Structure 1
Amino acid sequence: MDRILTANTVITMDPRLPRAEAVAVSDDRIVAVGTLAACQAALPQADLVDTKAAALMPGFIDAHSHPVVTGPGVMPPNYWIAPWFAPKWDDVLAMFQKAIDETPPGSPLAFSGFDALLHEHDAPDAASLDAIFGDRMVFVQDNSGHAGYVTTAVLKKLGFIDNPPKDPVGGSFERNPDGSLNGRAHEVPAIEVFAQPVADVLLSQGNPLQGAVEYYLYFAAAGITSTSEHTYRASVKSAYEALAKLPSCPLRISLYHMSTEPDAGDPFTSDVPENMLRKIGVKLWADGSPWIGNVAMSTPYLDTPTTHAAGIVPGLHGEEQMNYSRAQLDSLLDQYAPQGWQMSFHANGDVAADIVLDAFSRALDKHDLSGTDHRWRIEHIGGARKDQFPRMAQIGVVPSLGPFQFSYWGDLLDGKMFASEVGSQWQRARDAFDAGLKVSFHNDGSVSPPMPLRSVQSMVTRRTVSGQLHGAEQAISVDEGLRAITINAAYSLRHEDQVGSIEVGKLADFVLLGADPYAVPVDTIEKIEVLGTWVGGSPIDMDEFASAGEGLPKTDIDQMIALGVPLCQH
């Protein structure tokens, strides 16, 4: 279908033509951008569509997420207890009781979103969960994605009471003084083990893809038209294909295969069009999460009531928090670099970033990739130092920042978890842009809600959700913020030739906004209403997508999808 779309203004994110009156679309592609007359000349028979939007922009792009894994993990039959829904521990306890009351006695239960810092409570263990749930099998996922907690019933089901297992590579089980397990697991390989018994049961109770359908719609409502799966494994391929084939599918997906999977380097083929689903990289977690105390930093955690409440051991831990040795990182890069995959390394702390950048430099030189357009990525890097960004630029590394870390935890980071000179600078967006990098932003669902405009506002104002100001010198411009969720994010996903700006030849993915983000007060950007999203030249019909999702057959995907494990590792 040929259409010409108009709005009060068309914001293209193309520096050669920043603003336009109209955009002409034929089938799924943009064929003209500029004045209404020019668009009508390009498509004289096209329907004229007045979107009535204050601004029409390229669809937003979340550069790092986990939609199929996250959706089933936070939608029924699982319970979402994240601080945005259950702000304090008493609210979590109320949700625990609700789950007990509305399920048959003895039924397994799964919860996602516990956060020791924001819930102001110690992480649960088997003993504390047993006191609430008795002999039920219960799995609780930490909001960070870096920890999971279970009842004794789960340990019994796994046969771990009398025979505690060794720690898996890249993960660990917490132990009592006598060596027995205490019900806490850290990092994906160990969390998966704890989740399995509960997931096996919950998976039989419904179709986990329904949760993914709902989560896709969550993205669409925020104006997001492209994102990634940063914890891809082959077992979820059929799920992504099924969703991509539904009418009005709202998301284009780029896949990053977990390095913990034996087939991480295998080629990817699908009958789904590549511009809707493609595999582009390999993902690895270098260190852990700031919120549970296993981030590799060169500065110490403070000894404060905040860190005590979160169960974080004060002091300097540094490299001991790495999930992999440098030799293991080198080995993984030697395996995947020659295959041409885009490497994507989670690294929160500055020590982790140093080690990753050292490993990147070595591998790029060894495999003759230095100076090429490799776009290897480093994710989150909330605790990065200023000097690390020019180094990223020098070796061609692309940073994807997580403003949500600052937005929700910034008040705690600054002076309560770390010294102010470190905590106030968390998410150094100004330093990253000043280094000449194509910085992208992400929300890393379900760690935080998919709200790209909130990410922009927080980095422009350097104010948290409470309104407090931290690190004003790291503030960026509105234009930089919007680039981080459009064209720069497309670049980080190696997709800027197709999406991220409104240019002739690109896919016609748009977001319709109720206000011009360049024209509103900067502290109201996140309040701009999303009026609709378009993918491939057509408006997304959310009801149509939801209805089609209800008819999906139950897909044979592994048990982790039922619990959202591994979740968003931030």
Structure 2
Amino acid sequence: MRGADKIVTSAAIITMDDDAPRAEAVAVDTRSGMIVQVGTRSELVAAHPGAEAVDLGTAVVVPGFIDAHSHPLFSGMVCMPPTHWIAPYVGYGSYDEVAALFRTLDAQTPAGKALVFNGLDRILQSAPEIGRDELDLFFPSRPVLVLDNSGHEAYFNTAHITALGWDGAEPPVDPTGGRYGRRADGRSDGRAYEMPAVMAVALPMIAAAGLDPLAGAAKWYRLMAENGITATTDHTFTSALLPLVVALGAHHDTPLRLSLYHMSTDKRALHALPGLVHSDMVRKVGIKIWADGSPWVGNIASTYPYADTETVRAAGIPIGPSREAAMNYTPAELDALLERFAGTEWQFSIHVNGDYALDRVLDAYERALDARSLRGTDHLWRVEHVGGARADQFARAARLGIAVSMAPFQFLYWGDVLDGELFPHEIGSQWQRFSDAITAGASVSFHNDGSVSPPVPLRNIQAAVTRRTSSGQEHGPEQRMSVEDALRAHTRVAAAHIRRPDLGVIAAGRRADFTVLSADPTAVDPLRLTEDVTVVETWRDGRRIDLDAFDAQVARLDRRTHVLEEVAVALLGTMASHRSR
């Protein structure tokens, strides 16, 4: 390794290295982007006399935050203009406000122009499960798509069904792992369930609505970087998005490293990806599978029922318990999926929220691990979200070497309704069992699952440490975790989970990716963490990321010959492929 050409000092450097948890300075070789040495200021100045000195003053440096499960490409498409983001946390607190926006936009938008909305929340907005009939009342002639905030349902009108080219308004054969809503006569009711079906109806509409996917994704990249994230994943990657990935990863000031999880339903999911310009910036690491659905739309596979409350009834959620009825795959189908991909280099990542579904996933993982003699290896097969998991399931995951990526945002934004409104207190108050997972010895990372929630790691950390929701209410205080464990979940452990062992720790031989904070998160009152600690800047490869420069680089790309055209063609091809049964 070359010698250092830059020495960074600050009030404190939190390394996440168990052997040397704190340091005064870090020496970096910016030509390779690697950390050369970590230690005291005097040690590093003596060892690297010609290095540039950069003093960050009273700021505190931590390894770059890592969001271990996200959807930045799709989030950019469905949250940034011309798409209309209607989630509760961006200003639409009720369904009445959403309905008023529908009426206003239908009156103001040129006739025939498609409209796309994202973020309808049946729980937090008290919204019904809308579909073709309801949307036709608001939009009688223009194609319209509304994505549920969970990402697990899509709602659309008759004009959109016509645009899809479904013969007689009958949906295609249900894709594996998803389904289309049907009336008694077989025609579409304007609903799609689970990601394979949701993506099939959403991506063509997004392309037809005139979205610039490159600009949208770049805006989401910037939003993540502004909140201190330097590496993330795309857990809804499909081959149609490859030109977008390549373009975003190529820029000098690209703020995010990206690990790709290919949707198992993509015909090219078994293939390596050509055209990735920088393997240190973008790499395919895994395969994504959805075992069940979302707690907010009532299709998680659980052994416990929903509470019989007005909130549940208004959302149209069956009381349950759902068990196997909410599974997207039978045990045999899960086994077949794992068998199909287990012989490859790819890591498995399975979405699962309900405890019944988690039992079935761990069963399937155990069979596949034994069949492949992978017990005790660093396979790091993953489970995602695990909101309704039991304590014993974390212990089992730990024994099998299964990585657990938890979702503090579920507790943060929905915790007040989870406890007693959606589920009985003994279930809802324990949603996201942080303490149980750590006590069981599970390997725990954190994520925001954008665009389901805003990509803000500091909020996740505070929620896990305090067990207080966005309203300030406390639920299940026995499930608190330490600030140190929460920081690991967004740095060191998250790096391992996305298969980036070169990230997540400030130590020699690791990449020089840093998040610079205004104060030490371990030294403030946890109840004031997000008030007293803010993100100052992010660094990649030992240099400050210039987000304005990144915006300018993206803006200069010629949309006539570059990503927009390639992605639009691919997405419109998706539309054509779903026009017949």
Give the partner amino acid of 1:150: F
**Residue 81 of structure 1 contacts residue 95 of structure 1 at CA under 8 Å; is this kept in 2?**
no
**Range moving further from structure 2, 382-391 or 190-199:** 190-199
Give structure 1 regions of 4+ aligned residues with deviation exceeding 4 angstroms. Answer: 558-562
Aligned with 1:413 (options 410, 418, 442): 418
Aligned with 1:522 (options 520, 523, 526): 526
Counterpart for residue 166 of structure 1: 173
Query: 3-state DSSP class of the match of 2:523?
Result: coil
Give the partner amino acid of 1:318: R
Which structure has more relative contact order (CA 8 Å, sep 6+)? It is 1
**Residue 53 of structure 1 contacts residue 512 of structure 1 at CA under 8 Å; is this kept in 2?**
no
Give the partner amino acid of 1:416: E
Counterpart for residue 578 of structure 2: none
Counterpart for residue 476 of structure 1: 481
**Residue 68 of structure 1 contacts residue 561 of structure 1 at CA under 8 Å; is this kept in 2?**
no
Counterpart for residue 364 of structure 2: 359
**Residue 111 of structure 1 contacts residue 141 of structure 1 at CA under 8 Å; is this kept in 2?**
yes
> Can you list the C-alpha shifts for 1:440-493, whole angstroms capped at 9, x where unaligned?
000000000001010011011001101111111110001011010000101111
CA 1:519–1:197: 2 relative to 1, 3 Å? closer
Cα deviation for residue 167 of structure 1 reads 2.5
Cα deviation for residue 126 of structure 1 reads 1.1
Counterpart for residue 80 of structure 1: 85
Counterpart for residue 338 of structure 2: 333
Counterpart for residue 295 of structure 2: 290
* C-alpha distance in structure 1 between counterparts of 2:86 and 2:211, whole Å: 20
- Residues 377-456 of structure 1: pairs in structure 2 closer than 5 A: 377-456=382-461
**Range moving further from structure 2, 541-550 or 259-268:** 259-268
Query: 3-state DSSP class of the match of 2:44?
Result: helix
**Residue 374 of structure 1 contacts residue 396 of structure 1 at CA under 8 Å; is this kept in 2?**
yes
Cα deviation for residue 235 of structure 1 reads 1.8
Is residue 2:106 matched to residue 1:103? Answer: no
Counterpart for residue 186 of structure 1: 193
Give the partner amino acid of 1:394: R
Cα deviation for residue 107 of structure 1 reads 0.6
Question: How many corresponding residue pairs?
Answer: 561
Is residue 2:537 matched to residue 1:532? Answer: yes
Cα deviation for residue 172 of structure 1 reads 1.5
* C-alpha distance in structure 2 between counterparts of 1:146 and 1:255, whole Å: 20
Cα deviation for residue 421 of structure 1 reads 0.8
Query: 3-state DSSP class of the match of 1:184?
Result: strand
**Residue 292 of structure 1 contacts residue 310 of structure 1 at CA under 8 Å; is this kept in 2?**
yes
Is residue 2:18 matched to residue 1:18? Answer: no
Give the partner amino acid of 2:84: Y
* C-alpha distance in structure 1 between counterparts of 2:113 and 2:283, whole Å: 38
**Residue 240 of structure 2 contacts residue 571 of structure 2 at CA under 8 Å; is this kept in 1?**
no
* C-alpha distance in structure 2 between counterparts of 1:216 and 1:424, whole Å: 33
Cα deviation for residue 331 of structure 1 reads 0.6
Counterpart for residue 579 of structure 2: none
**Residue 353 of structure 2 contacts residue 386 of structure 2 at CA under 8 Å; is this kept in 1?**
yes
Query: 3-state DSSP class of the match of 1:290?
Result: coil
* C-alpha distance in structure 2 between counterparts of 1:207 and 1:394, whole Å: 45
* C-alpha distance in structure 1 between counterparts of 2:156 and 2:482, whole Å: 45
Cα deviation for residue 305 of structure 1 reads 0.6
* C-alpha distance in structure 1 between counterparts of 2:169 and 2:255, whole Å: 49
> Can you list the C-alpha shifts for 1:367-396, whole angstroms capped at 9, x where unaligned?
121221111000000000000011001111
* C-alpha distance in structure 2 between counterparts of 1:263 and 1:281, whole Å: 13
- Residues 49-448 of structure 1: pairs in structure 2 closer than 5 A: 49-85=54-90, 86-157=92-163, 158-202=165-209, 205-448=210-453
Query: 3-state DSSP class of the match of 1:116?
Result: coil
**Range moving further from structure 2, 306-315 or 157-166:** 157-166
CA 1:384–1:558: 2 relative to 1, 3 Å? farther
Cα deviation for residue 147 of structure 1 reads 0.3
**Residue 236 of structure 1 contacts residue 558 of structure 1 at CA under 8 Å; is this kept in 2?**
no
Cα deviation for residue 103 of structure 1 reads 2.6
Cα deviation for residue 168 of structure 1 reads 2.6
Cα deviation for residue 98 of structure 1 reads 4.4
**Range moving further from structure 2, 162-171 or 395-404:** 162-171
* C-alpha distance in structure 2 between counterparts of 1:384 and 1:82, whole Å: 26
> TM-score, with normalisation over the residues of structure 2?
0.93
* C-alpha distance in structure 1 between counterparts of 2:15 and 2:432, whole Å: 27
Give the partner amino acid of 2:95: W
Cα deviation for residue 161 of structure 1 reads 4.1
* C-alpha distance in structure 2 between counterparts of 1:141 and 1:81, whole Å: 10
Give the partner amino acid of 1:526: T
**Range moving further from structure 2, 40-49 or 163-172:** 163-172
CA 1:530–1:162: 2 relative to 1, 3 Å? closer
* C-alpha distance in structure 2 between counterparts of 1:184 and 1:472, whole Å: 38
**Residue 68 of structure 1 contacts residue 212 of structure 1 at CA under 8 Å; is this kept in 2?**
yes
Query: 3-state DSSP class of the match of 2:10?
Result: strand
Query: 3-state DSSP class of the match of 1:141?
Result: strand
* C-alpha distance in structure 1 between counterparts of 2:158 and 2:72, whole Å: 30
Give the partner amino acid of 1:346: H
Give the partner amino acid of 2:8: L
Query: 3-state DSSP class of the match of 2:50?
Result: coil
Aligned with 1:465 (options 461, 465, 470): 470
* C-alpha distance in structure 2 between counterparts of 1:82 and 1:357, whole Å: 33
Counterpart for residue 568 of structure 1: none
* C-alpha distance in structure 2 between counterparts of 1:206 and 1:200, whole Å: 6
CA 1:335–1:5: 2 relative to 1, 3 Å? same
**Range moving further from structure 2, 548-557 or 400-409:** 548-557
CA 1:300–1:140: 2 relative to 1, 3 Å? same
* C-alpha distance in structure 2 between counterparts of 1:50 and 1:103, whole Å: 52
Give the partner amino acid of 2:507: E
Is residue 2:7 matched to residue 1:4? Answer: yes
Is residue 2:562 matched to residue 1:552? Answer: no
Cα deviation for residue 293 of structure 1 reads 0.5
For the aligned residue pairs, the C-alpha RMSD in angstroms reads: 1.8
